Amino acid sequence: MKDKVLKGTSSGIYTLSPTALTSISKLALSEKSKSRRKETKLQIYPEYPSWMHERLNLTWDFYPNPEKFEIDCEVNKLTLSVQEDMIVDDLLNCMSGFEGKFIKTPSLGDKHAERIFHIERSLDPAMRELAKRILPVCSHYSLIIRFVQEKSEFKWGLVNHALCASIRELLKNHFVFICQLENLQRKGNLSLQKLWYYVNPIMGFMDILASIIKVINKGDCCGSAVIDILYEKVLAYSGDPKLQELIFYLAQTTSRPYFEMLQDWIFKGQINDPYNEFMISEDKDITKEKLKDDFNEKFWEKKYSINSQNIPKFLAAISEKILLTGKYLNSIFETGSILGKDVNSNELVSYEKEPERFVKKSKRFDLPEPVVIHFTIKEEVYKQIVENAYNFSSKILLNLLLKDHRLIDRLRSLKHYFLLDQSDFMVHFMDISEEELNKTNSEIRLNKIESLLEVSLRITSANSDPYKDDLRCKLLLTDLKSMVMKIQGITQKNELNFLQFIISFSL
């Protein structure tokens, strides 16, 4: 093991072996990426005003009360029918977030804790036991409403906001259900047994919703992590069609903001991600304007990259293709090229409902209409949509390079001048410019060198090259090797830093 880490020298000094240096370099890069992720999470978003948290009566949850409580009447003097009517009224109140006369709840120590209830012991035992069966619905309601209020804050992202919105829609039905029960109670047609009969069907719905919320709260999940939880729940409840339909509805509405980001990326080459939830991250410090001063591959390699933490599991297999699809489109739009029909003006269609409308003819290219991507457990649907978008973007980029920018002719021209495919111009140029090039750098007249180069091109075989006028002269203080290393992103400073890194770890 020691031999793998340390490498001995003739002078008796031990240095780190190349394997160890590689491992340390990878570790340093991973630590750097972790720090970047932390900086991303610490971004400042608008906050709710403080009075939203201080005025507890504004919440839809139970108002905090002390552990001990006293009832307002003597239970022993009440008849069983009166006790039943009062306990039913208490349960309806608890299902809406209010305490009753005989049912109380203490304050919570943790905002994510499960709420517990205390029932007056002097009540009829049979009624108390039946009330205990209904109380889990009240506890789940408290957990759900706290989740909605917390995750609606800006910092939790669009996916959590969409989940909260869908839960609010479900809670509307819950409140309508309570109103119907209260109407029965006022008519004298709601006993405790009937209440249990009516509440029992919704217990499964409240229980699965509470279980999803507990998992999200435990991991402080955002973005794709929330979608993954719902995706797994949909698969897990395949044996219960009703509950699976409920979870599928939540997954479909919750994933909508994420899929809208995906649509913008694979159909427009744009990123609209205010909360850093999307799988593609953009480095805004890298711009195309900087390429004029420092030409390297950073713009293509590092401008857009995959954030592995934000990839839903069902898109992991096609994440690289998603990245390239958007990159191709983005590079086209960055050049200001006209594609024929503006992608933004296309009418959105669903691939699953109208696959024949996925491809639409235009004047210059076969432009696919942006597809409304919906949540589904069929991964092949996502693959087909991304595959078609990838084929489209790669096709128009290739056409743009080959036809509009004449890539083959450009490469052939580069072959003439840099690979000396037709080197007679170089021989002639060196002969007629020898006297000028023998001077020092400060004495050389660049305009004269360019004139001599132009003469050499026009009297040799290079005269037939349509791009000969694009050839320019420039005097540099660096040699060819340094220029190649600069293009590859390896500067002399980085070389020195690497040497210092090795020396600093010498033992």
**Bigger pLDDT: 58 vs 353:** 58
| Separation in Å, CA 464 to CA 417, 421, 468 | 13, 13, 8
Residues 146-188: pLDDT tens digits?
Answer: 999 999 999 999 999 999 999 999 999 999 999 999 999 999 8
- Asked whether the predicted pLDDT for residue 51 surpasses 80, the reply is no
pLDDT at position 216: 95
Residues 471-499: pLDDT tens digits?
Answer: 888 887 777 777 777 766 655 555 555 44
- Asked whether the predicted pLDDT for residue 230 surpasses 50, the reply is yes
Whole-angstrom distance, CA of residue 104 vs CA of residue 83: 16
Residues 7-33: pLDDT tens digits?
Answer: 444 334 333 444 443 443 444 444 434
Which uninterrupted H or E stretch holds 225? helix 224-236
pLDDT at position 40: 42
pLDDT at position 179: 95
pLDDT at position 220: 92
Averaged pLDDT score across all residues of the chain: 79
**DSSP states of 253-282 as a string?**
HHTHHHHHHHHHHHHH-----TTS-SSEEE
Q: By C-alpha distance, which of 95, 63, 88, 89 is closest to 176?
A: 95
Residues 40-49: pLDDT tens digits?
Answer: 444 567 777 7
* Confidence (pTM): 0.75
Is 269:330 a contact under the CB 8 Å cutoff?
yes
| Separation in Å, CA 249 to CA 202, 203, 256, 380 | 16, 18, 11, 20
Contact residues for 13 (Cβ-Cβ < 8 A; gap 6+): 506, 507
